[in-house]
Amino acid sequence: MERTVMYRERFAGMYSSWAFSLAQVVVEIPYILAQAIIFVIITYPMIGYFGSAYKIFWYFYVMFCSLLSYNYLGMLLVSLTPNFTVAAILQSAFYANFNLFAGFLIPKPRIPKWWIWLYHACPTSWALNGMLTSQYGDIDKNISAFGDTKTVVAFLKDYFGFHHDQLYVVAIVLVTFPVVLATLFAYCIGHLNFQRR
C-alpha cells in the first residue's frame, strides 16, 4: 500500500524515492531498539548467562543487529517483488537457508567447502557466532562433550570454529548486514516499478 503512495508522490514531484526509503529504514530503528531491550531484559536472566555488563551488551548488540537484518530483508524482498504474497514465498526460502547454514545444524567445520560461502553470507551464522563467542568464548572450565573432556573455549574452536579473538570481526559483519540490506532496499524501491496501467 505504501509503495503505491510513493509512486504517486514521486510522479507528482513531491519527494524522491531515497527520502521515502530513508524514512522507512529510520522509522524501524526505535521500534526494533525497544524490542531488543525488552527481549534482553526478559531472556538474559531466564537463560542464566553470566551477569556482566560486557556480556549483556554483546547479547543486546547481536540481537539488535539480527532483528534489523531480518526486518530490512523483509523490506528488501517486498521491494523486489510485485506483491506481498510473492515476497512471503521468497522469504520462506531465505529463512530455510538461514536455518540450514547457520552453523547449529551443521557446524562450520563440517560444512562442505563448496557451500561455505553460504555460511558466510548468512546473518544467522554471524549472530550465532557472536552470541556463543561473547557468552562462552572466555570460559576455561572443563566440560565433557561427545566423550571428550575439553575446555569451553577449545570446544567452541573445535566444534563450531568460533574464536573469541575474532569477536570484533563478528561485530563489524553484524552491523554490515542491516546497512547493506537497507541500501539495497532503497535502491530497489527507487528503480523497480510494479505499477499496472
The pTM of the full predicted model, rounded to 2 decimals, is 0.86
Cβ–Cβ contacts within 10 Å for residue 18, how many? 12
Is residue 11's pLDDT more than 70? no
**Three-state SS at 151:** strand
Name the nearest CA neighbour of 119 among 71, 150, 161. Answer: 161
Q: What is the pLDDT of residues 15-41, one digit of tens each?
A: 677 778 888 899 999 999 999 999 999
Distance CA(128)–CA(161), nearest Å, equals 11
- Read out DSSP for 49-99? ----HHHHHHHHHHHHHHHHHHHHHHHHHHHHSSSHHHHHHHHHHHHHHHH
**109-114 own/partner pairs: CB under 8 Å, 24+ apart:** 109/158, 109/159, 109/160, 109/161
What is the model's pLDDT at position 189? Answer: 82
Query: What are the residue boundaries of the structural domains of the chain, listed by start?
Result: 2-191
Q: ∠ CA(112), CA(116), CA(118), 5° rounding?
A: 125
Q: Provide the pLDDT for residue 59.
A: 95
**pLDDT tens figures, 43-98:** 999 998 888 999 999 999 999 999 999 999 988 988 888 877 888 888 888 888 88
